[in-house]
Amino acid sequence: MSPPDGRRADSPGGLNRSGQPSEVSRWSDLRRFTAARVALGRAGNGLPTAAHLDFQEAHARARDAVWSALDAAALGIEGDVRQVASEAADRRTYLLRPDLGRRLREADRAALAARPAPGKLALVLADGLCPAGVQAQAPALVAALRAALGGFAGPVVVASQARVALGDDVGEALGAAAAVVIIGERPGLSAQDSVGLYVTWAPRRGRTDAERNCISNVRPGGLSVADAAAKAAWLLGRARALGATGVALKDEMPAGALPGA
């Protein structure tokens, strides 16, 4: 987005005739508060070359993030770690058929059921729409959640070609009390490393998004790993007392209780 007049956004706006900041100056000031593409300037009726090339690079990075792959071995997570896949056979099918990404392969469902974790929390690392983000953030998130939840934390399940609802299948197969799905969020032009956490009490196939709570924008430029883990632990504690998540569970955690407050 460019200033409404024809001047460059980075030119000195100064004051207008009334002694107030000029419109160009106000637009330029926005750049201090956001990574969004504002006050980029103009070259004729288009963007300056540098801004145009930056946009193209960001778009390419976002596309690469969508098509990246999650390397389970490189995550370096210790303990009970299992690997599963959805019914989407490959990345292209996953992108074209969201419904298949929500269902666990029957062979993997049977394998999880053979080693249940009743009463525990299932931690599901789902590649989602940004596997690269999960690759970067999941190890620290798992460590923080394990530290916060102690013995309640159960197996870590690494899921490929997975949507959020796959956590319901995983939790049901394990007999888990709850599931937290850590999933790569759709990459944008200013963030290609963001993940979300979806908390579901008593997960089972058929749960809806209204029955889970979401913690989003977990990344270095957004919500910190420590704050996200603290928020998830708080939600799980309230969910245990309430016996439910989603619209029944209001996020009333005091802002000052977050580690980063």
Q: 238 in a domain, yes or no?
A: yes
pLDDT digits (tens, 9 = 90+) for 178-212: 999 999 999 888 788 899 999 999 999 999 999 99
- Which pLDDT score is estimated for 5? 45
Q: 39 in a domain, yes or no?
A: no
Q: List the 212-218 sheet strands across, edge first.
A: 81-85, 153-160, 121-126, 178-184, 195-201, 212-218
Q: 139 in a domain, yes or no?
A: yes
Q: 40 in a domain, yes or no?
A: no
Selection from 34-48, 59-73, 105-119, 176-190 with the highest mean pLDDT: 105-119
Domain of 164, CATH number, reads 3.40.50.11240
Longest dimension (CA), the chain: 77
Phi–psi pair at 25, nearest 5 degrees: -65, -40
Pick from 222, 167, 232: which is nearest to 194 by CA?
A: 222
Q: 121 in a domain, yes or no?
A: yes
Average pLDDT over residues 167-171: 98
Average pLDDT over residues 144-152: 96
Q: 19 in a domain, yes or no?
A: no
**What is the residue range of 250's domain?**
72-257
Q: 95 in a domain, yes or no?
A: yes
- Pick 219 or 261 by higher pLDDT: 219
Structural domain count of the chain: 1
Q: 59 in a domain, yes or no?
A: no
233-237: list long-range contacts, CB under 8 Å, 24+ apart.
Answer: 233/145, 233/148, 233/149, 235/199, 236/121, 236/149, 236/152, 236/178, 236/180, 236/199, 236/201
